[in-house]
Amino acid sequence: MGVLAVEKIIVTTALIYANGEIHLGHITSTYLPADIFVRFCRLRGNNIIHVGATDDFGTPILVEAERKRVSPEEFVDYWNKEDLKDFNDLGISFDIFSKTSSKENIELTQHFFRKLYEKGYIYKQVIWQPYCENCKKFLPDRYVKGACPYCGATEQYSDGCEECGRTFQSGEILNPHCAICGSKPTSKQSEHYFFKLSDFSGKLEKWLVENENLQSEVKNYVLNWVRGGLKDWDISRDLAWGIPVPLEEAKGKVLYVWFNNHLGYISTALKYFGEKGIDGNEAWNSSRIYHFIGKDIVYHHYLFLPAMRMGEEKFKLPEFIPTRGYFTLEGRKFSKSREWYISVREFLDKFPPDYLRYYLAAITPYSQSDVNFNWEHFQKRINNELIANIGNFIHRVLTFVWSNYDGKVPETETFDELDRELIEKLRAAVIDVAQEIDRIELSRGLRKIIEFSTFCNQYFQRKKPWVNKDEAKTALYLCVNVVRNLAILLEPYIPFSAENLWKQLNLEASVHEQNWSTASELRVPSGHEINKPTVLFKKVEDEDIKTEREKLQTLSKTA
């Protein structure tokens, strides 16, 4: 079912971890796809909100805060502001951006724990917890590294494997060592709280089978996990930084980050609705829910998250969980520790944000297939498609009108067969692009725009407006209208450039406020005066690419 049948939509994105700068991997799998979809829905007139937040708790944040000699609260507050700035500068348009350390999320998380505890879905169990004699502390999750018990990948944290995507308990990791000092941990007893994930096997299987909106390739291997037997889930930690377990007997223990962070979707949405005087519970449960994620957190979103909501019984499950693959850079796995990565800020300091949005949208399919960023490929796609195709048509039309008709849209006359074909191609493109974005096939939607723009260039060339200005009037009238409509079609993908184009056309209001359906109409009248055209896109030079590749290689060698 498409979004046309939905009055209200809530889109969430996997929460960015508040311990460092946003990199291109985050943007590719999660934030850009969500933003393109959200922008499209706004243009379609849907009642939609885009919910975001930072993920503030957990061991890595505590370690970094200690290293920088600031409080965890100060540390996450800094990154919350820095992340939001990066998102804004890239055009990621949240309706609300909060944090998991907010009072709203703390209260909701503790509410969930109490409800699940009261219903018997949480129980206590004494476990042997890794303990570092050298550091004199328990070592929860990311204080311990070792080899994955499933695929054997080394240097994995003790709560899950980044290579195969499986999660596990800290005691299951092979060849463990302290992530701080490197020494082999001993074991000490500690009483922990466990969530009965195994109790929800039947309900989870039914939900997975019946929800036809979930990606089949993801659903199939999650079903294999369910049918293979789910293990109960340790949801408490011996840690100073986290949401306290709301029981007097559990003093000093906090809840595991994956118990609280996805609840940040709900608490942030409730905060948004509450500030507008709207019943948040009703709004959540009457909306179509989309959780955009990367495949590294499939286990959590397809199993833990729905099981907790099933147990609490107050908030509905998502209809869609759009999932995309890992991100590689020049054919190698992204790695901040090895300096083989590109941050969003680093990219924006060199290139326009729409170049990144365009390229990532073009190369990222709606699947779990991995996506590779290649600098030379980036240059070719920008120069050969965005500039030589889309930009070329727009610039030729506007400069021709400016130079030959005093910047005024010519009078239209009778449409010939080629004119009528252009109009039909336009109407078809508006429908086709909408269908692709509606299905979250964003790269296919962009391809439809490129194909239409290619025809527009061919139309302009066949009409030869430079031969006879009088005979060219109808063609230029149509071309200016097509440029106006291209601005709307492109807005979800390259919003900054679309708005720039809207202003060059001297049209009222903003391109962001238009209705998608008008993109198939001829709205710019004869006699309308455009502004002096400027170049929308500048070529990516060979020297730019050479510099970026050399910088990447140099940093990687010194890491």
User: For residue 500, what are the CA distances in angstroms to 105, 390, 484, 507?
Assistant: 39, 14, 11, 11
| Distant-in-sequence, close-in-space partners of 92: CB < 8 Å, separation ≥ 6 | 27, 31, 32, 34, 35, 52
Query: Mind giving me the DSSP string for 240-262?
Result: SSSPBPSSGGGTT-EE-HHHHTT
Tell the residue number behind the tokens 């030869």, with chain if given: 464
CA–CA separation, 549 and 555 (whole Å): 10
Q: Which residues pair with 340 in a beta bridge?
A: 335
Number of residues in the chain: 559
First-to-last alpha carbon distance for the chain, in angstroms, is 49
91 DSSP 8-state letter: T
Q: What is the pLDDT of residue 137?
A: 78
Tell the residue number behind the tokens 């995507």, with chain if given: 165
CA–CA separation, 314 and 161 (whole Å): 31
Residue range(s) in the chain whose domain bears CATH number 3.40.50.620: 3-108+260-353
Q: What angle do CA 105, 111, 117 make, to 5 degrees?
A: 135
Q: What CATH class has 111-255?
A: mainly beta
**Residue 416 CA to its chain's centroid (Å):** 44
CA–CA separation, 343 and 330 (whole Å): 15
Question: 159-162 contacts: CB < 8 A, separation 24 or more?
Answer: 159/256, 159/258, 160/299, 162/296
CA–CA separation, 268 and 131 (whole Å): 35
Strands (E), 16-150: 16-17, 47-55, 96-99, 122-132, 137-138, 144-147
Residue range(s) in the chain whose domain bears CATH number 1.10.730.10: 375-520
Residue range(s) in the chain whose domain bears CATH number 2.170.220.10: 111-255
User: For residue 287, what are the CA distances in angstroms to 38, 46, 357?
Assistant: 14, 11, 28
**The architecture CATH gives domain 3-108+260-353:** 3-Layer(aba) Sandwich (3.40)
User: For residue 179, what are the CA distances in angstroms to 38, 159, 185, 449?
Assistant: 39, 13, 10, 49
User: For residue 334, what are the CA distances in angstroms to 186, 361, 544, 556?
Assistant: 32, 19, 21, 11
Q: What is the pLDDT of residue 3?
A: 42
Strands (E), 18-161: 47-55, 96-99, 122-132, 137-138, 144-147, 156-157
What the block records as the tokens of 327 is 């991100």
Average pLDDT, consecutive stretches of 10 residues, N- to C-terminus, the chain (559 residues): 62 94 91 98 96 93 89 96 97 98 98 98 91 82 87 88 77 87 88 96 96 93 93 91 95 93 97 97 97 93 96 97 92 77 92 98 91 95 97 97 96 93 98 97 98 98 91 95 98 98 98 97 97 96 93 70
What the block records as the tokens of 447 is 């391809």
What the block records as the tokens of 394 is 């727009």
The CATH number given to 375-520 is 1.10.730.10
Q: What is the pLDDT of residue 558?
A: 58
CA–CA separation, 26 and 12 (whole Å): 14
330 DSSP 8-state letter: T
H helix or E strand, kind and range, residue 194: strand 186-195
Q: Which residues pair with 138 in a beta bridge?
A: 131
- For CA atoms 349, 355, 359, 362, the dihedral sign is positive
Query: Mind giving me the DSSP string for 196-211?
Result: -GGGGHHHHHHHHHH-
- Over the stretch 77-93, which tens digit does the pLDDT of each residue have? 999 999 999 999 999 99
Which of 526, 30, 70 minimizes the C-alpha distance to 321? Answer: 30
